[in-house]
């Protein structure tokens, strides 16, 4: 540190290209020009169709891909974890021990996993536009709803495929996405959570990383492994540093096309408020958790969940606090508005929308505290609210009810209500107390909601009164009330039901004010901003993510980090370094299999990799593929610098983090005794003949007239 020293040319090598690897692109509109200009890659329809049909959606919020001709589907351990949990018993804890089925007979059927493959995309924008032509406001909204419902029903009836309505570009395009739906899905292989989520929450959302976050399922049809030609060929060697790679998956949501006023509102109101609430809730839960072993067990999962969200939201919030990021958002918006205002027709149609959003956001601010802090917490209070709402909603005609009380949904709502899951009254009381305290602090003691819930008591007294007096911990008590209907509910002496009956109307007043003054305005205005952007830039920019299939491109590439460089890959050496560095303590302890098996491993095997692909939550489990559509990685996270990606993409430091195929094969063969699976992935066993099913239908990038 005292003397002058060498510097790496590496660090200063400037990347000459100016196009950023931004965008989660729909398959009807791939970034052809960018790929050609920056990477010299010609993307073809055949390539796109093959990748699309090799991509799998995990309906509970993740992505996956076909990796063999026999219906083998790869995703992340953390995407499959819900199913692993459900199929585990105290004797067979698959989360803890992992799982491997050597034969088809050993594969275990998932409890309720639905996988989808996107077979067809139909642009119905023209049909929608025709239906709403000449209509305005509420009339237009109703017409749109009607035509979409009709298109969806027709599609379902005609194709037998699951048809989802998809709105893109804030409402500038409407599509039908048709999925083949699979429900017979069986577990093939999962490692121990300890290695899948190695490094635990500290390493979560970071890189360098050392996780084997993989999980393999197999799709069955008619009790036989599903046969397909659309699967990704495996490449154990992975991709080279700097190589062009793609991901195909289902990013959940981004807010990149929100207006500046909305983002400012997030920065100045939503994020600080939510993070402050997280902070106090975590503190309260930790205080509770410290009371004893059992309290620790009860609160643990909840603390973990809050802290994980806190970490992610803190990263997003840091982005919003970054003046450069905000200046860029403002500049982009100014450019777009200038372009729109320069065209008289566009100006009339869309020019008003940004100010309209801003004014709605300002109105929201006027009631921000009420909208934010007038809320209960805990599962018992939540159930009391459901019962109280049921009393009110069930009197209304079906179409006017809140969605969860409409005929189509009410069954599931009541099933959830009657869940026998254990309720911890002492923890609920602690949470409710803090909610009351927060409301009192933020709204003042004279707020009607605060007055109503406290009713002259202190927060502690009130929470104790409601929780200790309620019978709702018992599912039977809930059922009795529902079955007694409005009469029973309105006469109930259960203090928590009485509380719910008092607060429901206050909530209703807020919601109807919000619907009238905010939500409707924002929906209309956002659609106009989307259409304006679309008019100005067409499909040069992809639409915000919405859990539909997207393609992103990028390259395998390290980045400047912590004063030095993060490499583009890590190796198994690093896994053992981290374990020994932390003396094998929790979060960094290796599974016994990895401790015992170290001498069998080639420790220079690549473990995780980073690439510039633009992804977000929901992309977990997405395949990373090379230009030949060969599998070279498995997305499982983003780095800490990628968290502001909700609002904007920066190629300098945003990175997608993947499991390298090398470590999957190395551990399967040497630690998991899973040579059969590794052979299937590496195509060592002869692939079966092409499937009998009809060949995949091509993508339909433009609207077609169909009856």
According to CB under 8 A, which residues from 224 to 283 bind a copy of itself?
Answer: 241, 252
Interface positions, 547-586, toward a copy of itself (CB under 8 A): 561-565, 567-571, 573-574, 576-578, 580-583, 585-586
Part of the chain binding a copy of itself (CB under 8 A), chosen from 264-272, 298-306, 342-350, 460-468: 298-306
Cβ atoms of residues 656 and 619 within 8 Å: yes
Quickly list H helices, 322-447: 323-341, 344-350, 353-366, 368-373, 379-393, 407-417, 425-443
Nearer to a copy of itself, 30 or 315 (CB): 315
For a copy of itself (CB under 8 A), the number of binding residues is 73
Nearest CA to 72 out of 609, 688, 615, 657 is that of 688
- Using CB under 8 A, pick the residue from 30, 238, 495, 638 that binds a copy of itself: 638
Interface positions, 476-535, toward a copy of itself (CB under 8 A): none
- Using CB under 8 A, pick the residue from 216, 636, 649, 672 that binds a copy of itself: 636
Nearer to a copy of itself, 326 or 453 (CB): 326
- Using CB under 8 A, pick the residue from 92, 153, 304, 480 that binds a copy of itself: 304
Cα angle vertex 522, ends 520, 528, to 5°? 110
Task: Give CA 411 to chain center in angstroms.
Answer: 26
Q: Give me the least distance between CB of 352 and a copy of itself, in Å please.
A: 37
What are 501's two structure tokens?
Answer: 């009956």
Please report whether residue 375 would count as binding a copy of itself according to CB under 8 A: no
Part of the chain binding a copy of itself (CB under 8 A), chosen from 4-12, 142-150, 260-268, 677-685: 4-12
DSSP 8-state code for residue 153: H
Interface positions, 82-111, toward a copy of itself (CB under 8 A): 82
Continuous segment of H or E residues that includes residue 143: helix 137-159
Contacts of 242 (CB under 8 A, 6+ apart): 555, 556, 557, 568
Please report whether residue 81 would count as binding a copy of itself according to CB under 8 A: yes
The span from the CA of 220 to the CA of 111, in Å, is 14
Please report whether residue 222 would count as binding a copy of itself according to CB under 8 A: no
Q: Give me the least distance between CB of 200 and a copy of itself, in Å please.
A: 5
Q: Number of C-alpha atoms within 13 angstroms, CB side, residue 73?
A: 35
Q: Give me the least distance between CB of 622 and a copy of itself, in Å please.
A: 11
Nearer to a copy of itself, 50 or 298 (CB): 298
Continuous segment of H or E residues that includes residue 559: strand 559-561
3-class SS of residue 660: coil
Cβ atoms of residues 299 and 449 within 8 Å: no
Continuous segment of H or E residues that includes residue 530: helix 520-537
- Using CB under 8 A, pick the residue from 23, 171, 225, 315 that binds a copy of itself: 315
Which stretches does DSSP call E strand in 456-556? 550-555
Contacts of 171 (CB under 8 A, 6+ apart): 526, 527, 530, 531
Please report whether residue 150 would count as binding a copy of itself according to CB under 8 A: no
Question: Mask: binding to a copy of itself, 651-670, rule CB under 8 A, as x and -?
Answer: --------------------
Cα angle vertex 235, ends 233, 236, to 5°? 140
- Using CB under 8 A, pick the residue from 99, 197, 350, 672 that binds a copy of itself: 197
Nearer to a copy of itself, 450 or 634 (CB): 634
Q: At what angle do helices 661-670 and 675-682 cross, to 10 degrees?
A: 150
Interface positions, 16-75, toward a copy of itself (CB under 8 A): 61-62
Q: Give me the least distance between CB of 136 and a copy of itself, in Å please.
A: 39
Q: Give me the least distance between CB of 298 and a copy of itself, in Å please.
A: 16
Please report whether residue 199 would count as binding a copy of itself according to CB under 8 A: yes
Please report whether residue 13 would count as binding a copy of itself according to CB under 8 A: no
Nearer to a copy of itself, 389 or 557 (CB): 557
The span from the CA of 246 to the CA of 615, in Å, is 11
Nearer to a copy of itself, 448 or 567 (CB): 567
Please report whether residue 587 would count as binding a copy of itself according to CB under 8 A: yes
Cβ atoms of residues 205 and 29 within 8 Å: no
Q: Give me the least distance between CB of 323 and a copy of itself, in Å please.
A: 12
Nearer to a copy of itself, 16 or 583 (CB): 583
| DSSP assignment string, 23-54 | --EETTS--HHHHHHHH-----HHHHHHHHHH
The span from the CA of 690 to the CA of 146, in Å, is 42
């Amino acid at each position: 540190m005292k003397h002058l020293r060498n510097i790496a040319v590496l660090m200063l090598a400037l990347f000459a290209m100016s196009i950023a690897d931004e965008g989660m692109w729909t398959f009807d509109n791939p970034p052809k020009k960018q790929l050609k200009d920056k990477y010299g890659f010609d993307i073809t329809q055949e390539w796109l169709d093959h990748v699309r049909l090799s991509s799998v959606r995990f309906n509970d919020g993740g992505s996956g891909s076909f990796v063999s001709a026999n219906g083998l589907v790869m995703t992340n351990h953390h995407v499959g974890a819900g199913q692993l949990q459900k199929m585990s018993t105290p004797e067979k804890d698959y989360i803890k021990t992992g799982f491997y089925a050597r034969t088809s007979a050993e594969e275990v059927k998932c409890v309720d996993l639905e996988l989808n493959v996107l077979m067809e995309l139909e642009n119905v924008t023209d049909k929608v536009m025709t239906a709403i032509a000449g209509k305005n406001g509420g009339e237009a909204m109703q017409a749109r709803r009607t035509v979409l419902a009709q298109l969806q029903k027709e599609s379902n009836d005609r194709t037998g495929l699951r048809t989802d309505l998809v709105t893109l570009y804030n409402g500038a395009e409407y599509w039908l996405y048709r999925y083949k739906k699979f429900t017979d899905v069986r577990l093939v292989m999962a490692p121990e959570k300890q290695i899948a989520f190695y490094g635990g929450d500290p390493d979560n959302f970071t890189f360098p990383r050392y996780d084997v976050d993989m999980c393999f399922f197999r799709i069955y049809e008619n009790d036989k492994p599903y046969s397909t030609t659309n699967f990704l060929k495996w490449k154990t060697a992975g991709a080279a540093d700097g190589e062009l790679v793609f991901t195909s998956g289902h990013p959940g949501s981004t807010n990149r096309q929100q207006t500046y006023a909305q983002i400012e509102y997030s920065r100045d109101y939503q994020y600080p408020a939510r993070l402050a609430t997280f902070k106090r809730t975590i503190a309260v839960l930790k205080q509770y958790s410290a009371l004893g072993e059992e309290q620790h067990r009860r609160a643990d999962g909840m603390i973990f969940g809050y802290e994980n969200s806190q970490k992610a939201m803190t990263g997003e919030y840091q982005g919003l606090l970054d003046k450069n990021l905000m200046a860029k958002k403002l500049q982009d918006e100014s450019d777009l508005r200038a372009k729109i205002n320069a065209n008289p027709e566009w100006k009339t149609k869309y020019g008003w929308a940004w100010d309209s959003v801003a004014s709605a956001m300002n109105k929201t601010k006027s009631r921000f505290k009420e909208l934010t802090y007038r809320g209960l917490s805990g599962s018992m209070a939540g159930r009391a609210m459901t019962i109280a709402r049921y009393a009110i909603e069930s009197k209304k005609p079906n179409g006017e009810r809140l969605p969860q009380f409409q005929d189509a949904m009410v069954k599931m709502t009541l099933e959830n209500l009657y869940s026998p899951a254990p309720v911890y009254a002492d923890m609920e009381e602690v949470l409710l107390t803090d909610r009351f305290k927060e409301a009192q602090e933020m709204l003042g003691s004279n707020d009607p909601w605060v007055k109503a819930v406290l009713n002259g008591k202190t927060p502690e007294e009130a929470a104790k009164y409601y929780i200790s007096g309620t019978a709702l911990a018992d599912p039977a008590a809930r059922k009795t009330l529902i079955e007694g209907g409005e009469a029973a509910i309105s006469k109930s002496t259960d203090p928590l039901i009485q509380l719910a009956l008092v607060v429901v109307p206050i909530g209703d007043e807020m919601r109807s004010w919000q619907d009238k003054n905010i939500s409707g305005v924002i929906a209309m205005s956002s659609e106009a901003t989307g259409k304006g952007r679309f008019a100005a830039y067409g499909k040069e920019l992809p639409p915000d993510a919405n859990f539909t299939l997207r393609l992103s491109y990028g390259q395998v590439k390290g980045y400047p980090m912590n004063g030095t460089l993060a490499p583009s890959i890590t190796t198994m050496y690093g896994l053992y370094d981290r374990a020994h560095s932390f003396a094998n303590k929790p979060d960094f302890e290796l599974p016994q299999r990895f401790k015992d098996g170290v001498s069998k491993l080639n420790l220079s095997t690549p473990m995780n990799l980073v690439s510039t692909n633009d992804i977000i939550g929901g992309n977990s489990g997405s395949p990373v593929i090379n230009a030949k559509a060969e599998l070279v990685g498995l997305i499982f996270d983003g780095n800490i610098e990628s968290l502001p990606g909700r609002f904007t993409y920066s190629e300098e430091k945003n990175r997608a983090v993947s499991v390298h195929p090398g470590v999957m094969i190395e551990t399967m063969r040497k630690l998991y005794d899973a040579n059969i699976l590794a052979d299937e992935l590496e195509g060592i066993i002869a692939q079966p003949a092409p499937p009998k099913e009809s060949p995949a239908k091509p993508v339909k990038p433009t609207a077609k007239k169909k009856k």
